[in-house]
Amino acid sequence: MPQNISRRPIYWPNEPAHPGLVQKLGDVVELYRVIREKVQPAIDKAFDDVSRTIGFVIATTLPIAVTIDENSVVTGVAVGGEQFKGTLFDSKLSDALKPLDGQTVAGAKAGTYDIYAIWQTALALALQHHWLEPAHAGSGPSPFALSAQRAEPQLASSRPVTGVHEPAHFLDAGIQLAPEDTVVIAAIDQVYPELRLAERVAAARIATRPGSVSPHVQERVHLSTSNLLNDRGFVSALDDLVQKHGR
């Protein structure tokens, strides 16, 4: 039985895991096993192709919905939601996931399963170095990012899709995990043990819960813009340094 990976352990001495939750976990594990066996290389290539086309990595995971019928056979796979229609991710991942149609997921109940397609190698790297880019979903962009956006409008295809959670939200104790998230984490952990996802999620959520000191703690410099940026002489000197040493 997968361990509870929330912020602190909860002990239920007289109440075993709900049978429905156990069944769902088993179904999602079997679904991920079919995905890894049948289409994982194609998924990895789809993510890589999109990133190369755009010029940088936007995501290492993307939500997908897999529909299974009463005979435990996959009858449809959809990439994300309406926000993905007509995007590169929709096109590339839909092609990569096509071989899932008609595959049998042993013992899985009929229904639609909301899970993540993962870019396996890139996600492994991101999980190893998640501390380099803290996931403060509500902290807002920096003033420098806003200035860059005003100066150079982004292409629609290069903008991050709103409403999409990377697994970074798994790592942030400030964001409560839904029961569906814990099922997906446990399933990925079983099928892709080399990612050590459950272990990393547990460690990261302990490190980022309120009161803990972690790489996610923001220094004051991140919270307000220095008055030096309003000093034209300082900005001019800074610009000269960038021009001189940035080549």
Q: What is the pLDDT of residues 214-231, one digit of tens each?
A: 455 555 444 444 455 555
Q: Are 63 and 116 in contact (CB under 8 A)?
A: yes
Helices (H), the chain: 19-38, 40-54, 88-97, 120-128, 143-151, 168-171, 179-191, 197-208, 220-223, 232-245
Sign of CA dihedral 126, 127, 128, 130: positive
| Whole-number CA gyration radius for the chain | 21
Residue 151 has pLDDT above 60, yes or no: no
Highest mean pLDDT among 94-108, 178-192, 230-244: 94-108
- Summarised one tens digit per residue, pLDDT across range 78-126 is 998 788 888 999 999 999 999 999 999 999 999 999 999 999 988 888 8
Give the whole-angstrom CA distance, residue 180 versus residue 115: 9
Percent of the chain with pLDDT over 70: 61
Highest mean pLDDT among 45-54, 195-204, 237-246: 45-54
Q: What residues does each domain of the chain span? A: 19-245
Residue 148 has pLDDT above 50, yes or no: no
**Range scoring the smallest mean pLDDT among 76-85, 160-169, 177-186:** 160-169
Residue 163 φ/ψ region, left for φ over 0, alpha for ψ in the -120 to 50 degree band, beta for the rest: left
Contacts of 184 (CB under 8 A, 6+ apart): 28, 115, 116
- Summarised one tens digit per residue, pLDDT across range 4-25 is 434 444 444 445 556 777 889 9
- pLDDT on residue 103: 97
- Summarised one tens digit per residue, pLDDT across range 194-210 is 999 888 888 878 877 76
Q: Measure the CA angle with vertex 132, ends 198 and 183; round to 5°.
A: 20
Q: DSSP letter at 81? A: S
The pLDDT mean for the chain works out to: 74
For 55, how many CA atoms within 13 A lie in the half-sphere containing its CB?
5
Residue 189 has pLDDT above 60, yes or no: yes
Q: Of 82, 51, 79, 53, which Cα lies nearest the Cα of 67?
A: 79
- pLDDT on residue 215: 52
Of the pLDDT bands very low, low, confident and very high (cuts 50, 70, 90), residue 46 is very high
